[in-house]
Structure 1
């Protein structure tokens, strides 16, 4: 054990000596050597290599009196230039062409001047006179055409105005077919209304006869009393309607205006409808009536026959008045359409005429 410790101590000592030796060897600084030289004055030369663009401290913007395409460049970048030195030349081919053109125009002007100084030749005078004659002929022709156009336009407008005015005539040789048709249906409507209003009046008289029959009053509509009241009410409503229709008819016959005739047709239809309803209810009332000593079956049957006949007559009257109203309204519409078309034709004739006159005047 002691021997081992001695060996360890010896080994450690050796390593320490080695470490000190290595430190001394590597940490030793090199020895600086100095050389002595004699001091003297001389030139120092140093070469520097650089790349870039040399730029002047002062720059001048160049202005030129004319613009164009450059034909030649007489200097290079970096060249030194002097005052009044030409640096570039423009392409002047266009200037040469303009110069030649100006020379040609000058020669033409000189030639024209020479003609004016010398005077026109006979051939030129003949050509000029022919042109004058041709222009005069064209002018005279244009004047004649203008007069002709004006006359045609005036005639077209006059005829269009006449066609329009004729549509407002209600009689005479120049009455239009539309106006004649309207006048015919107007007369037919007045006649039919007069006839059919009388039919309605006769029908209401028959109803009144039944309702005021003292012998029948205790037997009428005994099986359905409400029908008797309905028949009386409808009869009472039909009476003023008939009177109003008669009044409207009288006014229409007097004035002969389309408005009054239209109103009379409407009132006549209303009166006939009310009369027909009254007849229908009266017949229903008779259906629920009975007979007795003072009101026989024969009398009841006679009343039914009369009311049935009146229903047929009033129904026929309704159809006739409706047809008359339809035809009358159609004839009014046809006339109004014809008037509108005539107004349009007149306006067209006026506009077209003005255009034709303007065109003819422009040729003078």
Structure 2
């Protein structure tokens, strides 16, 4: 009984501990708060806002939308033109061909539509089947060609990149070698300079000792007997002693103020002075020895005395000769080190320049390979798309011919015809780009090119004067300029009249050259008012809203709800108390922080824009 009671108490104690732990863990969990939004459907609009000032549109520079060879100037300087008049024409044979081709395809689609309504003959169906087969072969060939282009351009780009990496590595190595050589050569010059200065000090000190010994011998009480056998030698010795003494003193003075930090020319001058001084000392000791050789022994100056003097002079002569040789060697080593430094640094400098040139060439080759890849891939992809479109068109035509003329079949061919009409409109627009038209009424003031000359989209082809209109020039940042196109509609308000008075206009020109304002890149955009208004005055502050894009009946959410993760765009969907992540495809980045959702979400879903834990 006691055992059971004891066991019961232990069980109760364990339960209490478990309850305490669970309660503590629950009370310690962080409280999570969500900021959410609802996936909505509606209209999104993308605009670009800017501020400028009204200017008189006195002289407007007109540019083609594309480059090419000028075929004809339709006007002359001084001509009055109306808005929409053709001013100049580029060679548009290719664009014209594409327009004609698109027109032919459109006519063919119209004929096919009529044919399917009327019904097709067996012969016609057979021909269509062969057309489908041929179109499919061309589509397959285009896909194979795209694969070949992808492999070749990737290989070329990889090779050029590897060449660039190697050239950069060679440049780094050349710069490192230049740095190492500079340090080594500078250290060598320093070392040889220290040695030369040390040898200079030793040689000058020994020369002082030698001259002191010479003076001691010359001041002997019996020096009057010196050199009697050769008076000329005695005279030479006297002159050489004075010269050596002066040169040694001068060299000592120079050496006293010369250090390793002195200018290179000062150091060399000091060493040269020391060499001259030691050389003069050597000459003096040689002359003194010659004097002793030409000295006769006497009762006052014995042979032993003369021999002792000769021995002392010979000893000093040997020391000075050794110092002179050592000093000249140290000087030559210093000169050689300086020459080596210049020669080696010039050599390594040249190597660095060569490596830099190699990097520049490799970088240019890489950029060229990248540009070639992009253009080749674009051409090959366009070929695939064109071939696929042709194949699908022929398939649709065949299906249309073999099927009864049902209403939705007719609608499908009508849709195809509309697509071809859009393609024709695009081709016609491209063809229109080869014609420069007057954006406003005005007077031709300048024609810059003659027929036959090539002109780019950045060059002014024609200048137009308009005395009755106004324009607004605004600077658009590089992040927004890609959104803007010529003829974009513009809403305009003027500070002078407030936001309730709205004017309209359109983009007439986008300058291709950048403008740098406080280290930020902008592009200048010109806006023309749609109509002349006497209430508008030059200098008025204008606020413009350029309408760059608009989509209707689309899904959208706040941009802050999107998370970039592993090259994917993720949105967190709140389902009750649970959150799950969904990958989405996005489209138009609109105003007010909104973005189009192409796929991944449905209207009405709740998404998380922010999570806060407390």
Q: Is the shorter-chain TM-score for this pair beyond 0.5, marking a shared fold?
A: yes
Matched, 1:262 2:268: yes
- Paired residues for 1:147-162 under 5 Å: 147-162=161-176
Cα deviation per residue 1:211-249 (whole Å; 9 max; x = unaligned)? Answer: 222x12332223444433321211011112112322343
1:211 to 198, 209, 218: 218
In the other structure, the counterpart of 1:221 is 227
Q: CA deviation at 1:335?
A: 2.2
- C-alpha distance in 1, partners of 2:166/2:257? 47
1:168 matched to 2:174? The reply is: no
Note if contact 2:190-2:260 (Cα within 8 Å) is conserved in structure 1. Answer: no
Task: Give, in angstroms, the shift of residue 301 of structure 1.
Answer: 2.0
CA positional deviation for 1:277:
1.2
Q: Secondary structure at the match of 1:222?
A: coil
The aligned residue for residue 137 of structure 2 is 123
Higher RCO structure, 1 or 2 (CA under 8 Å, sep 6+): 2
Q: CA deviation at 1:296?
A: 3.9
CA contact (8 A) 2:214 2:313 kept: yes
Unmatched tracts of structure 2, length 5 or more: 1-100, 109-130, 371-614
Residues 251 and 135 (structure 1 numbering): CA distance in 2 closer, same or farther, change over 3 Å?
Answer: farther
Which residue of the partner structure matches residue 307 of structure 1? 313
- 1:163-202 per-residue CA deviation (whole Å, 9 max, x = no partner) reads 2233332xxxxxx3x4554444333322322222222111
Contact 1:221 1:286 in 2 (8 A): yes
Partner of 1:323: 329
Runs of 5+ in structure 1 lacking a partner?
Answer: 1-109, 170-175
Task: Report if aligned partners of 1:210, 1:216 keep a CA contact under 8 Å in 2.
Answer: no
User: Does the 8 Å contact 2:178/2:345 carry over to 1?
Assistant: yes
Residues 252, 264 of structure 1: 8 Å contact kept? yes
Look up the SS of the partner of 1:134 in the other structure. Answer: helix
Give 1:279 deviation, angstroms: 1.1
Mapped contact 1:196–1:314 kept (Cα < 8 A): yes
Highest Rg: 1 or 2?
A: 1
Map of 2:244 onto structure 1: 238
How many angstroms apart in 2 are the aligned matches of 1:342 and 1:240? 45
In structure 2, distance between residues paired with 1:244 and 1:140: 75
What is the TM-score of this pair, normalised by structure 2?
Answer: 0.36
Which deviations, in whole Å up to 9, do the C-alpha atoms of 1:92-117 show, x marking residues without a partner? xxxxxxxxxxxxxxxxxx9xx89x95
- How far, CA to CA, are the matches of 1:230 and 1:208 in structure 2? 15
The equivalent of 1:281 in structure 2 is 287
Q: How far has the Cα of 1:140 moved from its partner?
A: 4.2
Does residue 149 of structure 2 align to residue 135 of structure 1?
A: yes
Which residue is 1:200 aligned to?
207
Say if 2:193 and 2:260, in contact at 8 Å, map to a contact too.
Answer: no
- Separation in structure 2 between the aligned mates of residue 122 and residue 272 of structure 1, nearest angstrom: 100
CA RMSD of aligned residues (A): 3.1
Provide the aligned length of Structure 1 versus Structure 2. Answer: 246
- Check conservation: 1:251, 1:260, Cα contact below 8 A: no
Contact 1:211 1:217 in 2 (8 A): yes
1:253 alignment partner, SS class: coil
Once the two structures are TM-superposed, the CA of residue 294 in structure 1 deviates from its matched residue by 4.6
| Richer in strand (by share) | 2
1:276, distance to aligned residue in structure 2 (A): 1.3
Distance 1:319 1:167 in 2: 30
Note closer, same or farther for the CA distance 1:248–1:151 as it changes in structure 2 (3 Å cut). farther
Cα gap change, 1:166/1:259 in structure 2, threshold over 3 Å: closer, same or farther?
farther
Task: Render the CA deviation track for 1:282-340: whole Å, top value 9, x for unaligned.
Answer: 12222333445554443322111111111122122222222222322222222222111
Distance 1:195 1:129, change over 3 A: same
Deviation per CA, 1:339-362: give whole Å up to 9, x if none: 111011111111222222222322
- Relative to the length of structure 1, the TM-score reads 0.59
- Report the alpha carbon displacement of residue 133 of structure 1 after superposing the two structures with TM: 3.4
SS in 2 for 1:168: helix
**More helix as a share of residues:** 1
Q: CA deviation at 1:252?
A: 4.2
CA distance in 2, matches of 1:263, 1:159: 38
